[in-house]
Amino acid sequence: MGILTVLWEKWTEFKRDFYKITLAAMMAPLMYLVIFGLGIQTTSHGEPYLNYLIPGVVAMSTMTGSFSAVAQNMSVQRLYEKALDQVMVSPTPLWQFIVGQIIGGALRGMYSAGIILLLTLPIHTGLIYNGWSFLIMFLNGMVFATIALVLSFLAKSYTDAPRYQAYIIMPMSFLCNTFFSTDSMPEGFRQAVNALPLSQASSMIRGIATENGFSPWGIGILLIYLAVFSVISFLFIYRKKNL
Amino acid sequence: MIEIKDLTKKFQDFTAVDHLNLTVRTGEFFGLLGPNGAGKTTTISMMSTVLLPTSGQILIDGRPLTRSASEQKRKLSVITQEYSMRQDMTMDEVMEYQGRLYYMPRKLIRQKTEELLSFTGLLDFRKRTVRHLSGGMKRKLMICRALMIDPEILLLDEPTAGMDALSRRQMWNLLRKLNNHNMTIILTTHYMEEAQSLCERVALMEKGRLDKVDTPANLIRELGAYAVDETSSGQMLQSRYFQNRAEAIAWLSDRGEDASFRSTTLEDVFVERMGHHLEKK
């Protein structure tokens, strides 16, 4: 019930800011596709580079869409509007609030990815998306929504949200199997980057899209991230003394 | 009944609330008074679980109030000092969100929203977002939101701050009416006439500690029910308090034209008790 309340709140926000949200979700990925995919026309492993790029950009969109849906919103609600107090006082179990935020954030990530899929539809790439692809997109969205929640509970001012975006999301966008393979990275650094959730999501979505299959370990890694950050966010909301 | 037991809140080295012990009876109108920084808002924040105590506990009807105590929280509603609302929501959405958070059926949410917004004169502005409301309208909306769920306990943190005299009186009447329906109300305020007019008992707090708990009448009686104010030229106003009227009038007759006679108020009690501490500083 509480989960539905949070989803209703997210839905009202989505309806109100529909054009802003849609435009924001389109802008950066579209630029990447135009510049790296169409502008600089190259090939990768004998295939058009676009075929490599699109799955990465889809994974990246689930990350940025879900992260920004939760991080900015929650930081502003907690620190500026004090609207989180309304939830804290209410009898709605706080775990339901957290789960609602995670699902709501993941859905926004899915929406961002869906826009990219629609935009790239006219380019006949031959890439394949199936139920597994969408499950991985949703899971990746959940992971980043949970990370966003934890960071917004840690934030000391509502201007911290854009900083997290710059320190965490931006480097991951470029490094994690989105624009180029991690294979060319130095030993040690490659393993570290591969352990990041976006690297796994990109790799799995790309594997499915190019019919090369994917390692179920990737799903396991995403689930580990989800579990760890969920536990941290539950601890924060139940135990943090000055929320 | 609300029992506050040994409640302490520390922010690093600063102790905002220091071993506070209080009992508020069911249906009582109770005031928390004190100068700025006395710990009133921190106490209310702990009673609404927004802040967690460093030590001690709060019991509602004998059961501890925690962030996971949904049954206890269902009885509570809070009007905070700051406007704690989503700025981009309309009034209707703010009310619906509140109703949903308290598991109210949709039909009842619509009915109560209509009723409360109409009562506070906000109905015509229901589609306006919070961002575009005046301070007074936001304050009224917060009251509507708090009353939406028919709480058993209402926590009010300076609810009339920034209100004009007329709105304040309307608010007092509303609070009296709610209290007559056996709602327990805990109020913090800087307006002593508000506390004197509304509260059955008041707690005087200073530096996070409880100084005194009693009825406003008893506190006034203890100080002296009659006051004579005297302003000598170029000096500060000085008040002298008397237990009986004849004594006060006798004193007054010995003074010049600068002295005047009146009844003692809760504000006098506050100034006398808290003012001495301030002078010592």
- Is A6 near chain B, with CB under 8 Å? no
A36-51: per-residue pLDDT in tens? 777 666 766 667 788 8
pLDDT at B99 over 90: yes
Coil, strand or helix: which one is B129?
Answer: strand
Contact flag B70-A93 (C-beta cutoff 8 Å): yes
pLDDT of residue B116: 92
Q: Give the rounded percent of residues in chain A with a pLDDT score beyond 70.
A: 97
Q: Are B263 and B227 spatial neighbours (Cβ–Cβ below 8 Å)?
A: yes
Report the DSSP beta bridge partners of residue B64: B59
Same domain, B152 and B70: yes
Same domain, B235 and B111: no
Token look-up 């890694």 returns A221
Worst-scoring range by mean pLDDT, A172-176, A231-235, B70-74, B254-258? B254-258
pLDDT of residue A43: 65
Q: How close does chain B come to A162, measured CA to CA in Å?
A: 20
Chain B residues touching residue A242 (CB < 8 angstroms): 11, 51-52
In this structure, what DSSP letter does residue A186 have?
P
- Is A106 near chain B, with CB under 8 Å? no
User: How many domains does chain B divide into?
Assistant: 2
B87 lies in which domain range?
2-214
Same domain, B223 and B141: no
Same domain, B174 and B227: no
Q: At what angle do helices A131-154 and A216-239 cross, to 10 degrees?
A: 30
Question: What is the C-alpha to C-alpha distance for residues B4 and B43, in angstroms, rounded to an integer?
Answer: 10
Same domain, B136 and B260: no
Q: How close does chain A come to B164, measured CA to CA in Å?
A: 24
- Is A163 near chain B, with CB under 8 Å? no
B29-33 and B201-206 beta bridge pairing? parallel
Contact flag A81-B98 (C-beta cutoff 8 Å): no
Question: What is the C-alpha to C-alpha distance for residues A199 and A179, in angstroms, rounded to an integer?
Answer: 11
Give the closest of A91, A240, A242 to B70, CB-based: A91
Contact flag A243-B48 (C-beta cutoff 8 Å): no
CATH of the domain at B154: 3.40.50.300
User: Of B189, B214, B239, which residue constitutes the final position of a domain?
Assistant: B214
- What pLDDT band is residue B250 in, cutting at 50, 70 and 90? confident
Same domain, B205 and B224: no
ipTM field: 0.87
B265 CB-contact burial (10 Å; exposed 0-12 / middle 13-18 / buried 19+): middle
Q: Are B200 and B215 spatial neighbours (Cβ–Cβ below 8 Å)?
A: yes
Question: What is the C-alpha to C-alpha distance for residues A201 and A211, in angstroms, rounded to an integer?
Answer: 15
Same domain, B185 and B231: no
- Is B77 near chain A, with CB under 8 Å? yes
Question: What is the C-alpha to C-alpha distance for residues A94 and A89, in angstroms, rounded to an integer?
Answer: 10
> From edge to edge, which strands make up the β-sheet containing B259-263?
B237-242, B226-231, B259-263
Any idea how long chain B is?
281
Q: Which stretch of DSSP H or E encloses residue B58?
A: strand B55-60
A118-133: per-residue pLDDT in tens? 988 888 778 889 999 9
Q: What helix, strand, coil percent values describe chain A, rounded to 5?
A: 75, 0, 20
B128-139: per-residue pLDDT in tens? 999 999 888 888
- Is B14 near chain A, with CB under 8 Å? no
- What pLDDT band is residue A77 in, cutting at 50, 70 and 90? confident
Q: What helix, strand, coil percent values describe chain B, rounded to 5?
A: 40, 30, 30
- Is A8 near chain B, with CB under 8 Å? yes
Q: How close does chain A come to B162, measured CA to CA in Å?
A: 19
Token look-up 């506390």 returns B195
B76-79 and B226-231 beta bridge pairing? unpaired
Quote the radius of gyration of chain B (alpha carbons, Å).
21
pLDDT of residue B279: 55
Best of B44, B49, B84, B109 to mutate (most A CBs within 10 Å, chain A): B84
Q: Are B193 and B100 spatial neighbours (Cβ–Cβ below 8 Å)?
A: no
Over range B153-172, report the average pLDDT: 86
Best of A3, A9, A89 to mutate (most B CBs within 10 Å, chain B): A89
Residue A226's nearest CA partner among A129, A117, A123, A138 is A138
Same domain, B24 and B135: yes
Q: Residue A75 is encoded by which pair of tokens?
A: 């930081």
pLDDT of residue B281: 47
Same domain, B207 and B229: no
Contact flag A90-B48 (C-beta cutoff 8 Å): no
Same domain, B41 and B90: yes
Q: Which stretch of DSSP H or E encloses residue B256?
A: none
Best of B50, B109, B154 to mutate (most A CBs within 10 Å, chain A): B50
Residue A54's nearest CA partner among A120, A130, A5, A7 is A120
- Is A233 near chain B, with CB under 8 Å? no
B14-24 and A43-44 beta bridge pairing? unpaired
Residue B229's nearest CA partner among B256, B201, B260 is B260
pLDDT of residue B278: 52
Chain B residues touching residue A91 (CB < 8 angstroms): 70-71, 73-74, 101-103
Contact flag A2-B68 (C-beta cutoff 8 Å): no
Same domain, B37 and B50: yes
**In chain A, what are the domain boundaries?**
2-239
Neighbours of B185 (CB within 10 A): 23
Token look-up 């995670």 returns A102
A191-225: per-residue pLDDT in tens? 999 999 999 999 999 999 988 888 889 999 999 99
Same domain, B11 and B72: yes
Give the closest of B50, B68, B98 to A243, CB-based: B50
pLDDT at A80 over 50: yes
For B:111-150, CB contacts with A below 8 A are 145
Nearest CA in chain B to A1: B103
Q: Residue A208 is encoded by which pair of tokens?
A: 């499915």
- Is A18 near chain B, with CB under 8 Å? no
Q: Residue B36 is encoded by which pair of tokens?
A: 């700025």
Chain A residues touching residue B96 (CB < 8 angstroms): 8
Q: Residue A133 is encoded by which pair of tokens?
A: 């692809």
